[in-house]
Structure 1
């Protein structure tokens, strides 16, 4: 195993899918360019979870964008983590907040935003947007601007990949 990959375990191995929420599958590896400020974007158009009351499936696209500091999320582990929501039962707002919390705690990025664009059920869609960030002046200003833009037109702003 290459040292610059850190302790990544799932990449290149047979995939074992977990059908219940399991944040332990998330893995990180060292950022080779911590001196650079840059975006990392993930768009997950096939996200599914279950309504906590009815057990009916909820479908969404989850958009994750972050500015890394020392760590990056390993994409296969992120896929397995998001897949682990398949049989989880939670409200949309709770799900998106949990994703943001888990990734922020794992990576300790400068900034992360998670946006859940859920398909309508019963004639209404719920689209939560969450930000977490380090309390640095430049990051606080960025968060304010991103939040303003999100409130104006979330899909266009968040789909522009940074």
Structure 2
């Protein structure tokens, strides 16, 4: 991504507003794009609910479906939402276990954004009579967000969220 920034704090985005968007059917972290966070002076959450996530079982190649919740506290960058949509779409033919997919997504967003805090929760629909709901998080080392990550991990499922789409 280029370093040029316009007066709105937006860098040269290649996907937003592009009518000829190509959808990758292979895992494509390179489609992720970020823009400047114009509110670096405050802590706030950005939340994405992604109810149409699909990936493939790495053994059977059967499709897996999930709603993914991505929540993060940005530092200097925020993710551009169309690039996030295309990135998540790129998992459509990607074969990995649920737990791996959630950790890969988190790692890619950490690499792109260097957020203060991030958590990813995959609420997968049942297949074979069982659903798997991996949750992972990260707080920037040496900050209050590292402590926050540890606290939220230790208290993660005390009050499970109600999910109506399964």
TM-score in terms of structure 1 length: 0.91
Matches within 5 A, 1:27-42: 27-42=33-48
1:11 maps onto 2:6 in alignment? no
**Is the 8 Å Cα contact of residues 120 and 136 (structure 2) preserved in structure 1?**
yes
Q: Would the aligned equivalents of 2:64 and 2:124 in 1 still touch at CA under 8 Å?
A: yes
Aligned residues: 157
Q: Distance in 2 between matches of 1:108 and 1:154?
A: 28
**Preserved contact between residue 133 and residue 139 of structure 1 (Cα < 8 Å):** yes
Q: Within 5 A, what are the aligned runs for 1:105-124?
A: 105-124=111-130
Matched, 1:69 2:75: yes
Counterparts of 2:100 and 2:161, CA distance in 1: 20
Answering whether residue 151 of structure 2 is matched by residue 150 of structure 1, we say: no
8 Å CA contact 2:139, 2:148 repeated in 1? no
CA contact under 8 A between 2:106 and 2:118: conserved in structure 1? yes
Q: How does 1:40-119 map to 2 (within 5 A)?
A: 40-119=46-125
* Displacement after TM superposition at 1:2 (Å): 6.7
Using the alignment, how far apart are the partners of 2:91 and 2:111 within structure 1? Answer: 18
Runs of 4+ in 1 over 4 A off after TM superposition: none
| Ranges in structure 1 where 5+ consecutive residues have no aligned partner | none
- Go from structure 1 to structure 2 and tell me whether the alpha carbon gap of 1:119 and 1:82 turns closer, same or farther (over 3 Å shift): same
Quote the offset at 1:152 in angstroms.
1.4
Supply the distance in 1 between the matched residues of 2:84 and 2:52 (Cα, whole angstroms). 13
SS at match of 1:10: coil
Q: 2:144 aligns with which of 138, 144, 149?
A: 138
The answer to which structure has the higher helix fraction is 1
SS in 2 for 1:109: coil
